[in-house]
Amino acid sequence: MIKTSLYTFILISITGGLLTLLSSVGIFISITMQRRLERLQETLEEFINLSYGSDANLTTQMYNLIEKYQLHYIYPKQPQGLILRYIDLNVFFILLLWSFAFIMNYEPPFSLPLIMQISPLMIGIFATLFFRRLLRNTISLENPLLGTIVPPPLKLRSISFLSHFINLSVMSVLKQARLSLMLTFNRCVDDSDAWNVAVDLKEELSCDDFFYYLALYDNTSCYFAGFGEVICRFPSDPITDKPVPVCRNINIPLGCFMTDFSFDLGTDFQAKLLIFTRGEKHPVQYNYRFMKGRGFLASRTDPVVTVNRRIVYNIKKDELNVLSFDPNIPRFQELLPHFKLNGSRYYFYPLSTIRKQSKDSPPHIQICRKGVFID
Amino acid sequence: MYYDTAVFVQNIRQALSPLVFPSPAQADPYMDLAKVKVIEEFDPQEACRQAPSSDPLVQALGLVLETMEKGPFNMTRLGMNELFKKYLFLITEENEEECTQRFFDCFYQLFLSSLLESYPFTGLFWEYLCLTLATVSEYLIEKRLITAGQIFLKTVFVMGRCATQNCLPTCTIQHLMHNMEIWAREEGYLEFADCAKNHRFNLECL
């Protein structure tokens, strides 16, 4: 039997030992964290530097860097679980022993000074629990505490994020994403004269999180206009369970339209694509010309990419406010009131381009429900 | 005199004119040690007696390679153009395999020497090569030369990968592969279509 008066001290010294162990775990975590942060920031810097060499084909390097970034970002599950369990157990015993030491020396009755005496224990419990939360947050990077210092790998494909937080040219990143347009022709079932044309935006590297406006037109009329926000969601691989930060060769359906023109488009058939991101004030403009393939029209490989300084915009609370227009972009002004960043893609075609419809029929704005696919 | 384009083209045409497929070398074989399969059949005495026949294609290739060392890209361009034209002129259903293999060996060599660091026109060369390859692919599928198409795809894929490693654009290559894939799927050559798709997807995976 141990003497009761000494036993309290024994308990407190054991608690002290446990606290020391806990803090050494904290040091261990902070050292590994520091290493990881360094690696991540190095990779991030490499990524940013890479995007300045915009003329070369750097898509593969960018893709590999994002994968590498993810490798350092994700902490292996097993050691992480072990450390978390250790921290939890340790904190539990510390709190238990502290409370036990108090209870052993408690003498009834309950009175006001007792609350004063207990308050250091309360502070201790609070501080320990807070420390535990801090350690837990540090060990996995996916939390608001560190998210701003080292963004999750998903954010590296987000154009808006890159343009907003990092001072880097949107155009050079977009150049590596290599946006191109693809129009696939299918004969309409009921009408042998008309074609159903599906419009897809192809990306070599899946950059997302931007607002777009697309117009397909020639010198007589505008065949198609599409607008909306591009957001890709790639679920983790169902078999290997690996997260997918970025994809290649993706197609984003933008809508479809019907027309009676055949494959032989006039030379003036062209497309204008505007890209609005959250961190900029002038959109990036792509001018596409087309070339013929089998059953499809693909945009030529060297689109003219410029920053359209005539358009000024800002994005506030998912709403796109255009402060000044460019009259050269067909239908832009007309569709302005519908511009919202809600993650969906809309399209619109003036029905008058089909011979059968009367010219006065109202424009239809439709939502494009087809998901992003890889082809 | 070297810089006279007309003379240069004439020289290449002259060099290429005796070229026929199947090549006469097949009837009169020259022992290549790398191709010996059964060692019992190998006879050193016989092998030493054989001599290779002259190869017009190598001669023409040499002429084009020379232009790459000396100067204006226009000469190289003309030389390549002549080689491609001769290829399309010679290829038939009977000789498509040998013909394509021989010519694309040449194009691959030209491409590799264009990647030399001392060669200043790498970008121009690659751009021109891509455009020509696109035309050739159209011709091959127009004439339904499937075996040739497969060899073509394989070589183009290897070249495209090298190009990616050297940060050259591959849009045209991807486009021509996609075009071939769609055509093959429509016409029912599913294996060919899958091959084209596979190559297109792996082109930039390093």
| Span of A14-18, A258-262, A263-267, B156-160 with lowest mean pLDDT | A263-267
Check A296 against B182: CB less than 8 A apart: yes
ipTM: 0.78
Is pLDDT at A101 greater than 90 in this prediction?
A: no
Is the Cβ–Cβ distance between B12 and B63 less than 8 Å? yes
| Cis peptide, bond prior to residue B22, ω within 30 of zero | yes
The neighbouring-strand residues paired with A212 are A228, A275
Q: Residue B182 CA to chain centroid, in angstroms?
A: 23
* Greater model confidence, A339 or A220: A339
Host H or E run for residue A319:
strand A319-324
Check A293 against B204: CB less than 8 A apart: no
Check A59 against B206: CB less than 8 A apart: no
Distance CA B124, CA B135 (A): 17
Kindly indicate the confidence band of residue A91, based on its pLDDT and cuts at 50, 70 and 90. very high
Distance CA B196, CA B51 (A): 39
Residue with tokens 């920031």: A41
- Highest mean pLDDT (candidates A37-51, B41-55, B188-202): B188-202
Q: Give the chain A residue nearest B142 (alpha carbons).
A: A294
Is pLDDT at A164 greater than 90 in this prediction?
A: no
| Chain B residues touching A180 at Cβ < 8 A | 171
Is pLDDT at B180 greater than 50 in this prediction?
A: yes
- For the record, the structure tokens of A116 come out as 């004063």
Give the A:B interface size as CB pairs under 8 Å.
43
| Span of A28-32, A85-89, A293-297, A341-345 with lowest mean pLDDT | A293-297
Q: Give the chain A residue nearest B194 (alpha carbons).
A: A375
Q: What's the length of chain B?
A: 206
Check A301 against B164: CB less than 8 A apart: no
Percent of chain B at pLDDT exceeding 90: 50
| Chain B residues touching A296 at Cβ < 8 A | 182
Question: What's residue A356's pLDDT?
Answer: 47
Nearest alpha-carbon partner for A22 in A127, A105, A156, A111: A127
- For the record, the structure tokens of A374 come out as 């890889």
Q: What would the DSSP string read from start to end of B87-100? A: HHHH--TTTHHHHH
Check B186 against A295: CB less than 8 A apart: yes
Backbone φ, ψ for residue B38 (5° rounding):
-110, 120
Question: What's residue A354's pLDDT?
Answer: 47
Is pLDDT at B183 greater than 50 in this prediction?
A: yes
Q: Residue B114 CA to chain centroid, in angstroms?
A: 14
| Span of A148-157, B17-26, B100-109 with lowest mean pLDDT | B17-26
Q: How many domains does chain B have?
A: 1
Domain ranges of chain A: 4-150, 159-374
The CB density around residue A228, as the number of other CB atoms within 10 Å, is 24
- For the record, the structure tokens of A242 come out as 């690996």
pLDDT tens-place string over residues A134-144? 888 888 777 77
Q: What is the mean pLDDT of residues B76-83?
A: 92
Distance CA A331, CA A347 (A): 12
| Span of A12-16, A348-352, B55-59, B127-131 with lowest mean pLDDT | A348-352
| Chain B residues touching A57 at Cβ < 8 A | 163-164, 167-170
Distance CA A306, CA A301 (A): 15
* Greater model confidence, A28 or A365: A28
- For the record, the structure tokens of B33 come out as 């040690």
Is pLDDT at A223 greater than 80 in this prediction?
A: yes
Residue with tokens 């539990």: A92
The neighbouring-strand residues paired with A319 are A316, A340
Q: What would the DSSP string read from start to end of B2-63? A: TT-HHHHHHHHHHHHTT--SS-GGGTS----GGG---GGG--HHHHHH--PPP-HHHHHHHH
Question: What's residue B130's pLDDT?
Answer: 93
pLDDT tens-place string over residues A298-315? 888 778 888 889 999 988
pLDDT tens-place string over residues A326-344? 888 888 888 888 888 888 8
Check B205 against A294: CB less than 8 A apart: no
Question: What's residue A238's pLDDT?
Answer: 87
Distance from CA of B159 to the nearest CA of A (A): 15
Kindly indicate the confidence band of residue A54, based on its pLDDT and cuts at 50, 70 and 90. low
Q: What is the mean pLDDT of residues A97-121?
A: 83
Check B182 against A248: CB less than 8 A apart: no
Q: What is the CA radius of gyration of chain A?
A: 30
Distance from CA of A58 to the nearest CA of B (A): 6
| B171 CB within 8 Å of a chain A CB | yes
Check B175 against A298: CB less than 8 A apart: yes
On the CB side of A293, CA atoms within 13 Å amount to: 26
Kindly indicate the confidence band of residue A258, based on its pLDDT and cuts at 50, 70 and 90. confident
| B178 CB within 8 Å of a chain A CB | yes
Q: Give the chain A residue nearest B175 (alpha carbons).
A: A298
Residue with tokens 């975590």: A29
Kindly indicate the confidence band of residue A192, based on its pLDDT and cuts at 50, 70 and 90. low
Question: What's residue A273's pLDDT?
Answer: 92
| Chain A residues touching B184 at Cβ < 8 A | none
| B18 CB within 8 Å of a chain A CB | no
Of B164, B171, B201, the CB nearest to A60: B164
Distance CA B1, CA A188 (A): 61
| Chain B residues touching A291 at Cβ < 8 A | 175
Distance CA A62, CA A297 (A): 28
Domain holding B69, by residue range, is 5-202
* Greater model confidence, A77 or A289: A289
Check A293 against B175: CB less than 8 A apart: yes
Question: What residue type is assigned to position A78 of the chain?
Answer: Q
Query: A296-299 and A284-292: which strand pairing?
Result: antiparallel
Distance CA A312, CA A323 (A): 5
* Greater model confidence, A2 or A226: A226
Mean per-residue pLDDT of chain A: 83
- Please state, in angstroms and as integers, the Cα–Cα distance from residue B194 to each residue in A200, A348, A375, B198, B201, following that order: 21, 35, 12, 6, 10
Question: What's residue A360's pLDDT?
Answer: 46
Backbone φ, ψ for residue A247 (5° rounding):
-120, 165
- Highest mean pLDDT (candidates A349-358, A365-374, B28-37): A365-374
Q: What is the CA radius of gyration of chain B?
A: 18
Question: What's residue B191's pLDDT?
Answer: 92
Distance from CA of A68 to the nearest CA of B (A): 13
Of A53, A57, A301, the CB nearest to B168: A57
| B179 CB within 8 Å of a chain A CB | yes
